Amino acid sequence: MEASDIEIKETVPASRKLQSKDARDLLTSASKLIVAKGKKVTTFTDASDEAVAAMLGPTGNLRAPTLVVGKTLLVGFNDEAYSEIFG
């Protein structure tokens, strides 16, 4: 993030487990969700159960990293998706 001169406003430690309710809460303020799992990138424009499920890992916790950029929510890491958002 520092290399792209991006300001981090809040960091949540991994010890604080965020689950499906937290994921749904994050989705309420987002108009677009981008979920990256390896090379696969999926985009959602609604707060469906499928979108919430995509945000969660096998343990039921919110996958990391999770970023809120304006009205876009990014979950997971994909270099191309980040380049699209951050230029």
pLDDT tens for each residue of the chain, 87 residues long: 555 567 778 888 778 888 999 999 999 999 999 999 989 999 999 999 999 999 999 999 999 999 999 999 999 999 998 888 887
Phi, psi at residue 28, to the nearest 5°?
Answer: -65, -30
pLDDT in the model for residue 3: 55
Distance CA 54, CA 58 (A): 10
Query: For the CA atoms of 52, 61, 25, 74, what is the dihedral angle to 10 degrees?
Result: -70
Distance CA 54, CA 44 (A): 10
pLDDT in the model for residue 82: 87
